[in-house]
Structure 1
Amino acid sequence: MDCLVSSSLITVFVRWTWLRAVLHNGWWLVTSLYLVVDANLSAAQIVLIGAVQGIFALACEVPAGVLADTISRKWSLVVSQLLMGTAMLVTGLVTAFPLLLATQVLWGVSWSFASGADVAWITDELEQPERISAVLARAARAQLTGAATGLVGLGALAWATQRDIAIVTAGAAMLLLGLYVALRFTEQRFAPARAARWSASWSIFRGGVALVRRSPELRLIFLATFLINGAADAGGRLAPKQLVDLGLPVAWDPIVWLTGVGVLALVVGAVVLRRVERRLDGERARHSYRVAAMIGLLGMTGVAFAPDAASASAALVIVSGIAVPLTRIIAALWVNARTTSVVRATTHSFLAQAEYLGEVTCGLAIAATASLVSLPIALAASAALFGLTAAVMRRPGAAVEPRAR
């Protein structure tokens, strides 16, 4: 593949990553406040949404990954965009808890069609294993800058109009982004299964399971992902309510304050990713992951026990800007380096399953804590999960495994 085609593929992939981040993160900023202020959901209901969402996504994740490996990575991404845009749009039209639960479940299911398929698509279409870590790191930075743009843009729209208008607008734009994938993504290196689809799907699934069973390193990162995603998801959902409860400055509209916090976290994340890019895979990945988890422990503890909204916001920046993006990109690189083209999307789906399983089990436990004890103690439980993840990553692992092709 010549340099021009390679550059075009990378540009298309990074641009799509940026655009999706603009819409997804800006939408979630407005939605997180919408759930608290407009829908008036309790802390337990907010975390329960994440847990139920995770249950459905967990059930769909591996079948979606197998279908991506069997039929098409590109069209799996198109389906993801359409479901995601629909869920986002409808969220702004309802306020009842059961209806919001339904929209968030659909939104979670939509991600199951994208997780793994995106990395598998660019890895195989590019067909340059030596460059893929740099490409994924570049995409991760694009995701952060896109997220910052989305926070400012959709946050400003919500401030100037209404939160539901911003939510519906983001959903409609996400639907249109599906056209970008359909028209700009190629799929020349992927060969759909020619045998009976069920037989091929089952074979791919078994191949992915066998790969994981042979790899202590994959099992280790799945365990760490289970723990840290449970901490990050529950803590992230509860953080806006904690800031509101602590009392945001009266001179600031809540959406403006949360936008500022989010943008600062993303800027910090982009800078940190740039500085540590060469330490995100290979033998140094374990140490970098452990350090990021310890940073998450300190930051989430600060969110839990901060005396005011300003100090809680500063602690949230540490969690959202450093701990969460670092652990996620390291996990993706870790898995990508230890799988093969045939089962790449499926193996990434196993990683996503670990994420969703963490959301469900840890989320339900933290939701119960928020309901039965208090919100700060629930956030402290999230902090404890960050610390447990750091301890898990200190375990001696197997020798570094050869990089898969």
Structure 2
Amino acid sequence: MSGDSSLATVFVRWTWCRAVLHRGWWAVTSVYLVVDAHLPASELALIGVGQSVAALVFEVPAGMLADTVSRKWSLVISHVLMGTAMLATGLVSEFVPVLATQMLWGLSWNFASGADVAWISDELDEPTAVAAVLLRADQAQLTGTVAGLMSVSGLAWLTDPRSAMMVAGAAMLLLGGYVVARFPERRFRPVRVKRWSASWSILVRGSALVRASRVILGIFAATFMVNGVVNAFGRLYPLRLVDVGLSVDPLLWLGGLGVLVSLAGAAALRLVRPRINGVHTLRRGFVTACTVAAVGVTGLAVAPEGNSGSLAVLLAAGALPLTRTFTTIWINEQTVSAVRATVHSLLAQAKYLGEIACGLAIAAVAHLATMPLALLICGGLLAIAALLVQHTGSPRPEPAS
């Protein structure tokens, strides 16, 4: 793995493989929880809240670990926890055990969130190149999703959902133990002494950078709302489509829908790649993605049958992942190497807080009122996030020293 281009290729290919496994696994799991485990809308939303609570508690400590000990080994830990959670979910079907496995799944992302971006940013050490690689990685994640939906869903159709879920979990463990453990880490310098005080200093510096920037605060606030919608919508739309009626097997229909969503997202990222380093492109991209997603979520709420509902899902689910791409690159450009993983972890804190607060509210509305009303609220949150970012200041502040 010599040379920056080789490292970039390794990073993109690893992202693709991870997406194949976890996106394919989730496509099967989301149907399994509805069709096989028979969990209602309120419990599906509460599972997402529990997952976010676990992630919220450990996110900043995991980011500090990545900034003081190792970005690479944080990723290995993530794979171990993620693969274990994926395996365990295939063995349970009751609400409480499923909640436990999903909380472990949420915890696993703490050790990857920020550490992956920080690792490739340090190893390449070239801001322009990093932005292009991150965009390529998100494209790879979407095309990997297509491969995962076809392979893991196909395996579930040929065998059964539980078997496919456990195979994907075992493969995730192998990916971390064999591939990620061999990543180089040449430019990162771990803290050898006084790690607690160094970790605390990094957290203070990262927090100061966030507080001092109107741009970063605006992104954090928008992330709070958008990810509250992402988590709830991802768990509710399969149930909503089943409720309004699907003409074919739900696993095949939702798998095919996921393929179309991912291909549309990859095409959209390909269009913006030449201009990804401009702050105006990042803002416009985020606002456009939120607006399209708001239309899709609202359309699903009022859809009278499966075909129109699926078209609405295509709009929403195709646009929502793009918001993460734009915010990740935007935040990465606003920070510096010494606190990079921690700032990304603080961004993830905003994400998890949104998933908890908005998830609880959406779960309550779905339980006490109706699912369409809950989806309409999701559409409103996306519209507010778009307006907030549209009016966020553009100058980049001087990084905290």
Hey, what's the Cα distance between the residues in 1 that align with 2:342 and 2:19? 23
* Corresponding residue for residue 255 of structure 1: 251
Residue 315 of structure 1, aligned match among 312, 317, 336: 312
Match of 1:389 in 2: 385
Q: Following TM superposition, by how much is the alpha carbon of 1:34 offset from its aligned partner in structure 2, in angstroms?
A: 0.7
1:290 corresponds to which residue? 287
Asked if the contact 1:337/1:404 (under 8 Å) is kept, the reply is: no
Deviations 1:113-149 (A, max 9, x none): 0000000000001112221110000001000000110
What's the % identity of the aligned pairs?
55
Q: CA deviation at 1:380?
A: 1.1
| Residue identity in the other structure for 2:328 | A
AA paired with 1:300?
V
1:278 Cα offset (Å): 3.5
2:390 is paired with a residue whose SS is coil
Residue ranges of structure 2 left out of the alignment (5+ in a row)? none
State yes or no: 1:101 paired with 2:83. no
- In structure 2, C-alpha distance between the alignment counterparts of 1:398 and 1:256, rounded to whole Å: 44
Whole-angstrom CA distance in 2 between matches of 1:198 and 1:363 = 33
2:296 to 296, 299, 309: 299
Q: Distance in 2 between matches of 1:135 and 1:384?
A: 33
Give, in angstroms, the shift of residue 326 of structure 1: 1.7
> 1: distance between equivalents of 2:138 and 2:107?
22
Match 1:235 to one of 233, 236, 256: 233
Q: Are 1:246 and 2:244 matched, yes or no?
A: yes
Q: Is the 8 A contact 2:73 2:181 kept in 1?
A: no
Asked whether 1:209 is paired with 2:198, we answer: no
Give the secondary-structure state (helix, strand or coil) at the position aligned to 2:189. Answer: coil
* One-letter identity of the residue aligned with 2:314: V
Q: Residues 257 and 290 (structure 1 numbering): CA distance in 2 closer, same or farther, change over 3 Å?
A: same
Partner residue in 1 for 2:330? 334
Change (3 A) 1:4 1:191: closer
Q: Quick one: distance in 1 between partners of 2:272 and 2:308? A: 26
Moved over 6 A (4+): none
Equivalent AA in structure 2 for residue 344 of structure 1: R
Alpha-carbon distance between aligned partners in 2 of 1:180 and 1:222, rounded to the nearest angstrom: 35
Tell me the CA shift for residue 184 of structure 1: 2.8
Distance 2:180 2:229 in 1: 35
1:185 alignment partner, one of 183, 186, 207 = 183
- 1:78, 1:46 → 2: CA distance? 29
Cα separation, 2, equivalents of 1:266 and 1:281: 23
Distance, in Å, in 2 between the alignment partners of 1:404 and 1:77 is: 26
1:32-51 C-alpha deviation (Å, 9 max, x unpaired): 01111111101000000001
Q: For residue 286 of structure 1, what is the amino acid of its counterpart?
A: R
| Aligned residue-pair number | 400
Q: Shift of the alpha carbon at 1:180? A: 3.2
Q: Which amino acid counterpart does residue 328 of structure 1 have in structure 2?
A: R
TM-score by length of 2: 0.97
Which whole-Å CA distance do the structure 2 matches of 1:180 and 1:401 have between them?
40
Residue 139 (str. 1) matches residue 137 (str. 2): yes
Q: Give the conservation status (yes or no) of the 8 Å contact 2:83–2:171.
A: yes
Q: What is the CA deviation profile of residues 67-110 of structure 1, one whole-angstrom value per residue up to 9, with x for unaligned ones?
A: 00000000000000000000000000011110000000000000
User: Corresponding residue for 2:9?
Assistant: 11
The 3-state SS of whatever aligns with 1:175 is helix
Q: What is the distance in 2 between the residues matched to 1:18 and 1:396? A: 33
Let me know the Cα RMSD of the aligned residues: 1.5
Aligned letter for 1:60? F
Quote how far apart the aligned CAs of 1:235 are. Answer: 1.2
Once residues 357 and 3 of structure 2 are traced to their aligned partners in structure 1, the CA distance between those partners, rounded to angstroms, is 44
Tell me, yes or no, if structure 1 residue 379 matches structure 2 residue 375.
yes
Match of 1:22 in 2: 20
